[in-house]
A and B are shown apart, each in its own frame.
Chain A
Amino acid sequence: MIRARDLTKHFRVHKRGSGLAAALKSVVRRKYELVKAVDGVSFEIQRGERVGFLGPNGAGKTTTLKVLSGLLHPTSGEVEVEGFVPFRRAPELLSAITLVMGQKSQLIWDLPPADTYAMNRAVFDVPQEAFERALKELTELLELGDLVTKPTRQLSLGERMKCELAAALLHGPTTLFLDEPTIGLDVAMQLAIRDFVRDYNQRHEATVLLTSHYMDDVVALCPRIIVIDQGKLIHDGDLRALVKQTDPDKRVSFTLVTPRADDELVKLGAILKREGQRATLRVGEKDLPAVVGHLLGEWKATDLAIEDPPLEEILRVMFGKAREGREASS
């Protein structure tokens, strides 16, 4: 279980202009700015939940994950993970959690991943038999093959990320903090890692808190999302409910058999995209049955697909509203 109550993390950041004059001035008189990276965030995550943690760049997502995993001391507020206060770094807590950062490696750079695995086995005190079982399972699920015996520096990004995941999970953690675990990976690898995380969550009843700029990761993995912006929590709840509440209209995509003018299409819904015979319309929920009936019946449209609005759009609307609210209140 993860619990954060009124969590804040502030940084004192040195501010300096560019150029020689500003550099010399900063030697004599330093200017500092207080950055509220996380500003009074509260939430609870139950064991076994998969939660997406979303927000624009600089929203405070990674800072929150660092506080939850014990890397940072919070400025104020209370945090508890698996019954422990993270910054005290109790060995029992460190054995129960893991943090995967897509942009940072925990593998020893000049040695094969197998050596990092051996080191983690020793440090986490995993019995040899359990270690071999976990390694076998991870090798199969992640299709590691002989990657573990190549020096880490010679692995591709995708290969390295798979090995990173294995290194992060060999000790059998029950809480996974995943910070951009699919960044820079191709689509096939993203899918493989999504499948793997879902499988691990189900097998081990592990709690997953995921940040990702790929909304497909979040949609595929996380029934619940927490959204923060400028350090403040602006949504915590079911992903589908959020979509419905922010933009209930559907996206209907189809291919026309006979050419139709835009004038005809707008009678069915707002045109979001038009590329030759392929079009995407925005259609209200109550009009949906009639529009779909018309497209399939009278127009004989093919390749018809009905989708919720992309999460990116939903978030853009949310962040816009949150900013407007802040500006109005200030």
Chain B
Amino acid sequence: MRSAAARTVRAIPTLLRIGLAETVAYRAEFIVWILTTTMPLIMLGLWTTVADEGPFQAYRSEDFVAYYLAMLIVRNLTGSWVAWQVSEEIRLGTMSMRLLRPLHPMVAFATSHLAAIPFRGLIAIPVAVALLVSSGASALTHDPAQLALLIPSIALGWIIGFACLFALGCLAFLVTQTSAIGNIYFTLFGILSGYLLPLDLLPSWISRVAACTPFPSMLGTPVRLLVHPMARGDALELLAIQGAWAVGAIALALTAWRVGLRRYEAVGA
């Protein structure tokens, strides 16, 4: 009998291909999704207007341009909507069909999300990169080693966000409607990840709270690697923190799944 892990690895190319096909099928929904990720551009307009009259704390106008365009890129590459999918499938009982297959649903959702990333970035990322290089190039890091760390950092940011959202979706095993809990999560995410504004512009106590949560590792860390030149040791430390959060988030997601599944009622299915 071939091992389950090897079987899963062999299935991934097919799952990615099917995920791509689904992404293309849901194109209207997709365009709406792309439009919903433009919050950084709104914040960009707001803060550059403020900074035009002089630097706001340490941020000049071009710093804001670099920050929010970097945020737009990272958000497009790391965003996930798995919590909504998981909770809906649990609530409606359609999760049953996934449970009948010898593949962990977390892997199935992950591959379908990964397949969608190139399409999600199709419009936003080229525009953001062009603007970033033309308008905010002076604020970018130029250290190739630091830029190279950006790739694992974005991957870890995606893993942390995806796993936390998967765990959030698993709350539907316990409470039928998770949208209120989801709203709390996304409020905290918006503030503590640096999505709405740079963490160093927040009151120091909020920054300290944020540092104790996984949110900065989802978005803020890759953005900092892109726009804040730093010592290599500091960059590696940020990456190590992300790695630890990724392990913790995966453990949380798997535990939430295992515990929650005992309460699954497979209603209507």
Chain A residues packing against B (C-beta within 8 Å): 11, 66, 69-73, 89, 91-92, 94-95, 97-99, 101, 103-106, 108, 110-111, 115, 118-125, 151
Contact = CB atoms under 8 A, between A and B. Distances in A.
22 contacts: A66-B96, A72-B264, A72-B266, A89-B99, A89-B102, A91-B7, A92-B1, A94-B101, A99-B96, A99-B100, A104-B269, A106-B97, A110-B25, A115-B18, A119-B14, A123-B11, A123-B15, A123-B101, A124-B101, A125-B10, A125-B102, A151-B25
A115 B112 CA distance: 14
Interface in B81-121: 93-94, 96-97, 99-103
A104 B94 contact: yes
Contact of B18 (A70, A97, A119): A119
Contacts of B101: 94, 120, 123-124
Contacts of B17: 118
A125 B11 contact: yes
Contacts of A120: 101
A114 B214 CA distance: 40
Nearest to A125: B7
A106 B99 CA distance: 11
B201 interface: no
A106 B100 contact: yes
B21 interface: yes
Contacts of A66: 96, 266
A124 to B, nearest CB: 7
A16 to B, nearest CB: 13
A126 to B, nearest CB: 10
Interface string B235-269: 00000000000000000000000000110111011
B266 A108 contact: no
Interface residues of B, number: 31
A70 B93 CA distance: 14
Interface string B1-36: 110100100110111011001100110000000000
B97 A125 contact: no
Contact of A110 (B13, B26, B93, B97): B26
Interface string B112-144: 000000000000000000000000000000000
A71 B266 contact: yes
A91 B18 contact: no
Nearest to B94: A104
Given A72-B265, A123-B101, A118 B96 contact: no
B4 A91 contact: yes
Ranked nearest first, the 8 interchain pairs of A and B with the lowest CB-CB distance are A122-B14, A91-B102, A110-B25, A122-B11, A94-B102, A106-B97, A125-B7, A71-B266
Given A71-B264, A104-B96, A124-B101, A119 B15 contact: yes
Nearest to A118: B14
Given A106-B100, A122-B11, 7 more contacts: A69-B100, A71-B269, A73-B264, A106-B97, A118-B17, A123-B7, A125-B102
A123 B18 CA distance: 12
Contact of B102 (A11, A95, A105): A95
Contacts of A104: 93-94, 96-97, 268-269
Contacts of B100: 69-71, 94, 97-99, 106
A124 B11 CA distance: 9
A308 to B, nearest CB: 35
B17, B94, B265: which has the most chain A beta carbons within 10 Å? B265
B21 A123 contact: no
A91 to B, nearest CB: 4
Contact of B265 (A11, A94, A110, A118): A11
Given A108-B22, A111-B25, A115-B21, A101 B269 contact: yes
A63 B240 CA distance: 47
Nearest to B104: A89
B15 A122 contact: yes
Contacts of A95: 102
Contacts of A72: 264-266
A257 B21 CA distance: 66
B230 to A, nearest CB: 42
Contacts of B261: 73
Nearest to A124: B102
Contacts of A89: 99, 102
Contacts of B99: 70-71, 89
Contacts of A115: 18, 21
Contacts of A11: 265
A110 B11 CA distance: 21
A124 B13 CA distance: 14
Contacts of A106: 97, 100
B14, B15, B93, B266: which has the most chain A beta carbons within 10 Å? B266
A89 B95 CA distance: 14
A118 B102 contact: no
Contacts of B14: 118-119, 121-122
B73 to A, nearest CB: 29
Contacts of B4: 91
A73, A89, A115, A125: which has the most chain B beta carbons within 10 Å? A125
A71 B21 CA distance: 28
Contacts of B266: 66, 71-72
A123 B96 contact: no
A214 to B, nearest CB: 21
